[in-house]
Structures are given as structure tokens and as C-alpha cells.
Chains A and B, each alone.
Chain A
Amino acid sequence: MGKTIAEKIISSHAGRDVKPNDITVVDVDVVMAQDGTGPLAVSQLKKMGFDKVKNPAKSIFFIDHASPSPRKELSNSHTVLREYAGNAGMVLSEVGEGVCHQILVESFVSPGDIVIGADSHTCTSGALGAFATGMGSTDIAVGFALAKTWLMVPPTIKVNFNNALAKGVYAKDLIIHLIGKITAEGATYKALEFSGSRSSKMSIEDRFTISNMAVEAGAKAGIFESDEVTKEYLNSIGRAALYKKIFADDDAVYEDIIDIDCSELEPMISKPHTVDNVSPVSMMEKVKVNQVLIGTCTNGRLSDLKIAADILKGRKVASGVRLLVVPASRKIYLDALESGIIKTLIESGAVVESPGCGPCVGVHQGALADNEVCLSTQNRNFKGRMGNPDSFIYLSSPATAAYSAVKGYIADVREIL
């Protein structure tokens, strides 16, 4: 019987053939925590008596969620991470380097790896053909200590993206549509494997956006096979030697197969307060926005910033709207500076913040006031997510976000394309 990508990667790391619902111990290649979850992992490491980690070069603490720190308690958390990483010889990704999931794909993850991270959007790395999944601090502490973890092998749902996207419709609209279709728990405990004629033509950045949001359907992982696009990406960042072809067997067994005709899709929105509460922009009532966020581990990459800049060039952010832009990494920030994207964004009225999670998680850099509305390119719109339970978060693509910032309300970007 053939295997899905998840089953192949887990088998290779378990040293035996596994099938869905087996519980197995696996070797892990990359382990990470961020500044929200890392301090608890340090506390658990100390409880277990570990002052060293098994594979320090691939054990990483990221300071990205509250970066730079807005208050002394968080600054002290950062000190805990710096000290432990220093003593154990681990990698520390400092203030300003960027969001963990972006740095992982830029510098640490290779096709075929198992990646575990104390952050739910660790599934982003699945875009490179890796099995990448989020866990809690205790699981990650054990992962640091032993470079092993236990997993239940997930059944896989295959999602075929077919045909080209229409003008004004992007990978973000695609994944919002999928989550609306299968719901926030439609893939709980399962792996999503993205395939179909459109997937093979998708840029690596579009794949990151889609894998990033797999967890919003409850999935354990969201995986693309590795191909020429993956190879080209690794080559572009000086990591060509790490390329490996990762693919499912022709006779792999899937729990379900979902076919999506991309050509039928429109720009999409997730409405408050769940990601699966979706609507095409064209069906929305007029929703005024107070803040627009373009960035995060979902849509803070160069192509996202370029799409936004192309729309904002020669236009101004509407009066009464705050447009915040957060490049996902230092590399992206520099590339956007050199290509003039940042200048265009600032001239339109945007505030550009330091690379990191930005206001997405509600601890700094743009908390919302009571009754305010934010349109964001982030992955999650839960009540209170951006620091205020009495505010409203809508999710969209960078194009929809940029155009809505100009109009002052959630608007259909196809009007100007």
C-alpha cells in the first residue's frame, strides 16, 4: 500500500513503516519556541534536569512575538531565553530578525524534515515538503532535550487546487475559501496534502501562505510536495544542496479528496470571530475600517508587500485609517527597501514596523480600541486576538487590505485591476 507524504516522512524518522493512527516516537530535525511559549519550555527543561539540548544548531528560540518588548515582564522573559540559549549553545533569533516561521524556511528547514515548534503556525514549513507541526511548551522542551517526540500518525486529506486564479484573487483567498468549506475543525488531527495543477504552478510564497493556515482548519500539518519551485527557492537563498524530492506514492490512501476549481473564486474575507466565517468581498455590506495590517507569518513576504505597494502607488490611505506594514523578516525588509516598495508604502501613509509578529497577537504595536475594526492579512481573527475583546477583526489578502485602506472600508480590489 502506498503512502502519503506525511506517512513517508514519519516512517523515515521512526525507522519503521507507519500507518494512520499509529502512535510512534520519531527523531526531529528542527525544534523551536518563541518568546510567548519559550519561557515555559525553559522551566520544563529545568524541571527535567536538562541544561543542554541534543541538537543545539537546530534548536532555536525566536524573539518575535513582543519584539522589541513593550514591558518589563516580557523583557524579563526575553532574558530567560537569552540566558538558556547562551548556556546550551542554542540558536537565538533576536529582536528585528523576524517572525519565527519565516526565519525557519529561510534558514533552517529542508524538504523531508520533521519540524516541531511551540507555535501553532509551525505548519508553515510544510510548504517546503517538510512535516511541520505545532505543539505546546512541554512537548517542545522534551524535543529540545532529546531531539525526539511522539506522534500519532495523521490520516491525510488531499486538496487539489485546479485551474488558474482570476485577477484580484490570491493564495490567501484560496485558503480562506478552503477553511470556510471544511470548517475550523474540518481537518482536526489530520494532515492536509496540497496538490492539483494549480499547486505545481504556485510560487513558494503562495505555498507558505496556504500551509501557514492549515492549522485554522485544525490540521496537524499542511504539506506541498517539493518540486522545481522548491528547488529554485532553496537555490535563491544559498541552500540548494539541501533540496530533496518529496512526494506521495501514486497509490497513497487518502481519507478524503477535495477538488477546488480556483477559477471560480472571488476575493474572500473571514469575518469576526472565527476564520471559517467566510464571505466573498462582493457579498459584504459596507464595513468601515479603523486599522489595516499588512504583514505577519501569513502575508508579510516580499510578493505580498509588492502587491500592496502596486495598489498604493499614487494613492493615499483614507483619512481616519491607520495602515500598518510589518515585513516578516529582516531579509524581506531589506529587499523591500532596495526595490522601493517601502518608500511607496510610506508615501501612501503607511507606518512600517520592525520585522516580527507585529500587532497580530495583541501585545504591542497596534492594539485596537473598543468597537474598532481591523482588516488584517494575518491568519486568525479570534475575539480579543489584537488586544481588545470589544473589537472586530476581518481577514483578507494583501491586495484587498491595501485597497480597503485607500477606500476606508472593506472594498473589492477588482474595481481597479
Chain B
Amino acid sequence: MIIKDKAIKYGSNVDTDVIIPARYLNTINEKELAAHCFEDLDKEFAEKVKESKIVVAADNFGCGSSREHAPLAIKASGVKLIIAKSYARIFFRNAINIGLPVIVNEQAADDISEGDTIEADLDKGEIKNISTGMVYLTKPFPEFIQTLISKGGYVNYVKDKFDKEN
């Protein structure tokens, strides 16, 4: 799968309270969640994401609460990919489980500037910064996680497995 889009850039410790504040956790409607995504961090996000659908951040992206509403809100807002130096572990699991691609790459996360055009090949683990010509290679996911992604997330994986066993 190849994703090509422009980057929105954030710093370290982007926490779940700024991704989707708890005061909006009165719904599991993805569109309603998306309407408030990143609003306490970046009031321009809703405008930016119309043009730029790759979020690039530094360390510990998604730290804080276990709310799966955070990756859901990001995905429903139109973001196609996140590239960060590192993720908080619950956020990382949640993103994989709902099928939001999350890549770890320190160098790319450092180098990419807001507005750069990025092309990422998820199968090869290759990130190209079209704006600067730089290319970055990422470590592939462990096999089990690749299986989850290829099944389209955890719900489909379990459904598939459960149907076969019964």
C-alpha cells in the first residue's frame, strides 16, 4: 500500500487529551469525534487536514489515556498515516487494531517539515520525502502484527479465527 500526501508536523508527547478531549467522549460516532480532533493542540488542524493527511511527530505520540477514540478520531478526520519517533504503547496497539498505519522512524520524524510531500510504501517500509529527495527505510512490523494489519484489524482477525474454530 502506497500513501502519498502532505505532512502536518507536531512535537513530542502529543497526548490523548489533546487528540480528543474527554469532554467529547460522549459518542462513538467517528465523524463527531473527528470534528474535535487535535482541537486543544492546533485550532487549524481541521483546515490543514483537508490538504495534508500525514501526521509527523516526535517522541511518545499518543501518551496518556487508553481511549481508542484517539486513533479513531485521527483516522476519521482523514489522516492516512502517522510517522513518529516513538509511540505510547496503548495508542500504538489501538491504531493497529483499528487499521490506522503508524510508522516509527526517528530520522524521518526529525527531517520532515510541515507541508512536505511524503510518499510511504508500507509493504517495503520505505518513506520518501518528495520535497527534499530524502529516502528512509523502516523496520518491518513483527509477523503477528503484520497478520493483524493484513486482516484489516483485530475485529476481523478474531472473527475470522473464531468462525474457523467453530
Contact = CB atoms under 8 A, between A and B. Distances in A.
Nearest to B85: A185
A220 interface: yes
Interface string A379-404: 01011110101000000000000000
Contacts of B60: 184-185, 188, 218
Contacts of B142: 23, 152
A384 B65 contact: no
Given A40-B28, A47-B159, A188-B60, 10 more contacts: A77-B26, A118-B68, A134-B90, A185-B86, A218-B60, A220-B89, A362-B22, A382-B16, A382-B18, A389-B18
17 contacts: A40-B72, A73-B26, A120-B65, A134-B90, A136-B68, A142-B158, A185-B59, A188-B86, A188-B87, A218-B63, A218-B89, A220-B89, A363-B22, A367-B23, A382-B15, A383-B17, A383-B41
A119 B144 CA distance: 24
Contact of B63 (A47, A48, A119, A185): A185
Contacts of A120: 64-66, 90
Q: 10 tightest A-B contacts by CB?
A: A136-B94, A136-B68, A73-B26, A389-B40, A185-B60, A382-B17, A384-B40, A138-B97, A134-B66, A120-B66
Given A120-B65, A135-B93, A384-B40, A185 B23 contact: no
A71 B26 contact: yes
| Residue of B18, B88, B90, B98 most packed against chain A (CB within 10 A) | B90
A384 B28 contact: no
Interface of B: 13, 15-18, 21-23, 25-28, 40-41, 59-60, 63-69, 71-72, 86-90, 93-94, 97-98, 142, 144, 153-155, 158-159, 162
A142 B22 CA distance: 24
A119 B93 CA distance: 13
Nearest to A364: B23
Contacts of A77: 26
A37 interface: yes
A36 interface: yes
Interface size class of A (residues with CB under 8 A): 35 or more
Given A49-B159, A120-B64, A383-B17, A188 B89 contact: yes
A74 B27 CA distance: 8
B15 to A, nearest CB: 5
Given A136-B68, A139-B97, A218-B88, A384 B158 contact: no
Contacts of A23: 142, 144
Interface in A21-40: 23, 36-37, 39-40
A139 B93 CA distance: 8
A51 B86 CA distance: 37
B154 A139 contact: yes
A119 B67 CA distance: 7
A146 interface: yes
| Residue of B89, B94, B97, B162 most packed against chain A (CB within 10 A) | B89
A384 B67 contact: no
Contacts of B63: 184-185, 218
Contacts of B68: 37, 40, 118, 136-138
A387 B23 contact: yes
B65 A119 contact: yes
